Structure 1
Amino acid sequence: MVTLATDDIEQTARQAPALIRYLDEGAFVTRRYVSQGAEINTGDYRDYPAVVRDGMPIRDHFSLDTHGFLIASHETAIADFHDKAAVDAGYQREVEALVAKLTGADKVATQGWMIRTSGDLTARAQEKVEGYVHSGGIQPPAGEAHVDYNVLTGERIAARVYGQAFPDGPGYKRYVCFSLWRTFSPGPQDWPLAVCDGRTVSDAETASNTLFVVDQFPEGDALTAPVEGEDQMTAATIFRHRPEHRWWYFSNMAKDDVLLFKFQDSDHSVTWRCPHTAFHDTSFPDAKIRESIEVRGVAFFE
């Protein structure tokens, strides 16, 4: 963790009050269960008052290897992000080309997409599902400070994606697991995405959060019952509160604004991860329901 200068351009940013949800102190079985239209975590969480700085007026200040995130402009050919066939047909190829341009990566491969909305998903969550797949659907905004992969998960995903997408490739020296995120609802959004300067976090406040994709949520003790080999399963990194964490967002994002941030960079000499979460932005009285689309992928440097 670093101490950032207090007299730089970042100190001029407007600040929005926020509550950021963190894992509480203590030992817990930490798991994330996801199903259609709903997601739940085990463990105890608490909302901490925080400020989220508005980076939009200084948007060109941010860089991927310094902060762990950046904002860029990109005109998409997708007219309607609720048109699943159109998104499947073209959007991931757009993202791959854009991320290659923004990062200088030799190759980029994406892993699917997800729409998130702050609108009411109660009816959707109550629908019975069988064989739920956590991609290409509609989910609520993320509810806590997290990075989608822990180190083991990122390493495995990078190796698998490269092998599948580039079986004849020479191999890679560096990988960056990323998310490319954009809103497509009018601004200002009521639950925008906040991203944390990766220089202000450390391993000391982290825990792994195992992912379980389910058709129906377990109940009671079944939520935390022992699972053999859980330490080898796909897992995110979640965070406990530290006052040093520096949070940012970009207010009034338009459809042509995209936010690129790191889940994991194999090069730890630069900022290699970016905690993130949605927060309720009360600084705009006319905020509107947020709809966004995110694409996960991996950029490879050969």
Structure 2
Amino acid sequence: TLESMGFALEVHPTAVGDFRDDGEVVAAYYDEMRDLVKRASGASRVFVFDHTIRESGNTNLNAAAGGAAAPVPRVHCDYTHDGAPRRLLQLGDAGIFSHLKGRDLSADEVAALAAGRFAFINVWRSIDADRPVARNPLAVCDENSIDDDDKFLYELRFPDRTGENYSLKHSDAHAWYYYPDMTADECLVFKVFDKKPDGPRFVFHTAFDDPRTTDASPPRKSIEIRTIAFYDDKP
């Protein structure tokens, strides 16, 4: 579960017909993912703020609307201890929490959200309705197997901001998991930051070369959704 391991496989069919249609994804899929993350996490409010389509064989790191980026074969976690609160405030400045009260929130109101417990939670799924994932699946690491000294920080430079990710030094102690042959009706839900200090907080993940993959294996086609969840309990 999310509370015990920081990740969970959920069966969750979708009504979306075309994931390359950004309008349909935002209008329909965001609502589906909001409900899924609320149920899986126990959060009282969930906001979806971003998504990325990825397809193996591509080499571009980013993609325009309707396009696909390459999978990321790099062990990482999307946020750091200090970077996650900064990202929450940036999203507040961008107005994504406006529908809470039907208006943009003030800086004080966003700061009040940041003072409580919040978590960044991602949802990853295949968008190939005909074939299970056989190439470049996603693996996740049990945080209980990671020593704090294994983590190191690196920066991501964007035109409008600088983000921070964690990566890991290699250790044979790390326990990695993946779900083989995931179908389009399954979702991998995982935390990339939780303000709650006890329990899993940072789920490291990466695409990888499955040794079962053959030349005939179809390309991976996937979507990842990024959400922020707010809880009624204090961190």
Give TM class, smaller chain. Answer: 0.7 to 0.9
Pair 1:158-2:88 in alignment: yes
Q: Give 2:200's aligned residue.
A: 271
Given the alignment, which residue of 35, 50, 55 partners 1:117?
A: 55
Pair 1:246-2:189 in alignment: no
Q: Report the CA distance shift for 1:134/1:287 in structure 2 as closer, same or farther (over 3 A).
A: same
Q: Report the CA distance shift for 1:145/1:250 in structure 2 as closer, same or farther (over 3 A).
A: same
Q: CA deviation at 1:193?
A: 0.3
Structure 1: runs of 5 or more not aligned: 1-62, 126-131, 215-231
Q: Which amino acid aligns with 2:150?
A: E
Pair 1:107-2:37 in alignment: no
Pair 1:180-2:93 in alignment: no
Q: CA deviation at 1:173?
A: 2.4
3-state DSSP of counterpart to 2:196: coil
Q: Give 2:156's aligned residue.
A: 211
Cα deviations by residue, 1:155-184 (Å, 9 ceiling, x for unpaired): 122344467313368736211111111011
Q: Which amino acid aligns with 2:158?
A: V
Q: Which amino acid aligns with 1:277?
A: T
Q: Give 2:139's aligned residue.
A: 194
Q: CA deviation at 1:101?
A: 1.2
> Is the Cα–Cα contact under 8 Å of residues 69 and 260 in structure 1 kept in the other structure?
yes
Q: Which amino acid aligns with 1:181?
A: W
> Is the Cα–Cα contact under 8 Å of residues 132 and 184 in structure 2 kept in the other structure?
no
> Is the Cα–Cα contact under 8 Å of residues 20 and 66 in structure 2 kept in the other structure?
no
Q: C-alpha distance in 2, partners of 1:154/1:196?
A: 19
Q: CA deviation at 1:213?
A: 2.9
Q: Give 1:139's aligned residue.
A: 69
Q: C-alpha distance in 2, partners of 1:209/1:284?
A: 31
Cα deviations by residue, 1:42-74 (Å, 9 ceiling, x for unpaired): xxxxxxxxxxxxxxxxxxxxx112211001011
Q: C-alpha distance in 2, partners of 1:211/1:235?
A: 6
Q: Which amino acid aligns with 1:77?
A: A
3-state DSSP of counterpart to 1:67: coil
Q: Greater share of strand residues, 1 or 2?
A: 1
Q: Give 2:78's aligned residue.
A: 148
Q: C-alpha distance in 1, partners of 2:4/2:52?
A: 27
Q: Give 2:21's aligned residue.
A: 83
Pair 1:259-2:204 in alignment: no
3-state DSSP of counterpart to 1:91: helix
Q: Report the CA distance shift for 1:134/1:109 in structure 2 as closer, same or farther (over 3 A).
A: farther
Structure 2: runs of 5 or more not aligned: none
Pair 1:98-2:36 in alignment: yes
Cα deviations by residue, 1:198-238 (Å, 9 ceiling, x for unpaired): 11112201111111236xxxxxxxxxxxxxxxxx9411111
Q: C-alpha distance in 2, partners of 1:265/1:136?
A: 30
Q: Rg: which structure is higher?
A: 1
Q: C-alpha distance in 2, partners of 1:76/1:278?
A: 23
Q: Give 1:224's aligned residue.
A: none
Query: Normalising by the residue count of structure 1, what TM-score does the alignment of the two structures yield?
Result: 0.65
How many residue pairs align between the two structures? Answer: 215
> Is the Cα–Cα contact under 8 Å of residues 188 and 252 in structure 1 kept in the other structure?
yes
Q: C-alpha distance in 2, partners of 1:233/1:284?
A: 36
Query: Normalising by the residue count of structure 2, what TM-score does the alignment of the two structures yield?
Result: 0.83
Q: C-alpha distance in 1, partners of 2:92/2:44?
A: 12
Q: CA deviation at 1:95?
A: 0.9
